[in-house]
Amino acid sequence: MIFLSASIPNKDRDKKYFESADVIAIRDAVRALATLVIPQTKLIWGGHPAITPLIRHVLNRMNFSPKDHVTIYQSNFFKEYFPPDNLDFEDIRIINEKFDKDSSLLEMRNEMINGNEFKVGIFIGGMEGVELEFEMFKKAHPKALLLPVASTGAAAKIIYDNKVENPDIRLKNEYAYMSLFRSLLKVVLPNE
Other residues' Cβ atoms within 10 Å of the Cβ of residue 86: 17
Res 92: pLDDT: 86
For the chain, the domain total comes to 1
pLDDT tens-digit series, residues 157-171: 999 999 999 999 999
| Confidence (pLDDT) at 79 | 82
Q: Of the candidates 38, 6, 66, which has an alpha carbon nearest to the alpha carbon of residue 189?
A: 38
Residue 66 maps to a domain: yes
**pLDDT score at 192:** 63
Alpha-carbon distances of 137 from 7, 27, 53, 74, 140, rounded to whole Å: 16, 22, 24, 17, 5
Task: Assess if residue 190 is contained within a domain.
Answer: no
**Could you tell me if residue 29 is inside a domain?**
yes
Determine, yes or no, domain membership for 191.
no
Q: How far apart are CA 140 and CA 86, in angstroms?
A: 27
The model's pTM: 0.94
189 located within any domain: no
Helix (H, G, I), strand (E, B), or coil: what is residue 191?
coil
Residues 6+ apart with CB under 8 A from 54: 27, 30, 31, 34
**Contact status, residue 57 vs residue 38, Cβ threshold 8 Å:** no
> What domain range is 17 assigned to?
2-184
For residue 113, give the CATH number of its domain: 3.40.50
Is the residue at 53 inside a domain? Answer: yes
**Which parts of the chain sit beneath pLDDT 70?**
192
- Residue 65 inside a domain? The answer is yes
The pLDDT value recorded for residue 54 is 93
> CB atoms < 10 A from the CB of 45, how many?
26
Q: CA–CA separation, 180 vs 127, rounded Å?
A: 23
Residue 33: other Cβ atoms inside 10 A: 27
Per-residue confidence (pLDDT) for residue 153, from 0 to 100? 98
b/e 7-25 (16+ beta carbons within 10 angstroms → b): bbbeeeeeeebbebbbeeb
Question: Are residues 86 and 52 in contact, defined by beta-carbon separation less than 8 angstroms?
Answer: yes
Distance CA(107)–CA(149), nearest Å, equals 26
Beta partners for residue 3, in sequence order: 44, 121
> Does 85 fall in a domain?
yes
